[in-house]
Amino acid sequence: MYREKLKELGVTLPEAPGKGGLYAPTKTFGDKKLMYVSGCGCNIPGEESFGKLGKEYTTEQGQKWARNAMMNVLAVLERDLGSLDRICSFEKITVFVASADEFYEQPQVANGATKLLQEVFGDEIGLPTRSAVGMNVLPGNIAVEIEALVSYQ
């Protein structure tokens, strides 16, 4: 279902990114129908970010980075759940936006990520609660990092 939707939208998910350290990419918990996805960066093959919003990147570019970070989250979810169709709801995401000290448009940047969710999963399932915050620096000098909590069946 969602695979078809992605194709329809012309979105090709990257391979799920390798782990950048000692941790679990996903973990299920609670009543075993919740899954946390470790923070995913916004680099995908051929598109690598090096810098911050308000310095190296504009808000529009940041939206692309946020979208790419969410594509990595989706790739991890598809790998670890077997299918995106098992997702019941995106419950919460945190969008970490590497930002110059005077860059104030973190929500607009984060919309790049949630717009993808909206397009693929629709409002009710796709739109999560969210915090979008400015960070002085992120791992490897990436522009955006996103972690996610989803419910699934």
Minimum distance, C-beta of residue 71 to a copy of itself, in the bound complex (Å): 16
Contact call for residues 76 and 149 (beta carbons, < 8 A): no
Count of residues in contact with a copy of itself, rule CB under 8 A: 57
Task: Compute the half-sphere exposure of residue 110: CA atoms within 13 Å on the CB side of its CA.
Answer: 24
Which stretch, 7-15, 67-75, 137-145, contacts a copy of itself (CB under 8 A)?
137-145
CB 100 within 8 A of CB 56: no
- Binding of a copy of itself by 135 (CB under 8 A): yes
- Pairing state of beta strands 87-98 and 129-135? parallel
**Residue 30 within binding range of a copy of itself, rule CB under 8 A:** yes
Residue 143 touches a copy of itself, criterion: CB under 8 A: no
User: Taking CB under 8 A as the rule, does residue 151 contact a copy of itself?
Assistant: yes
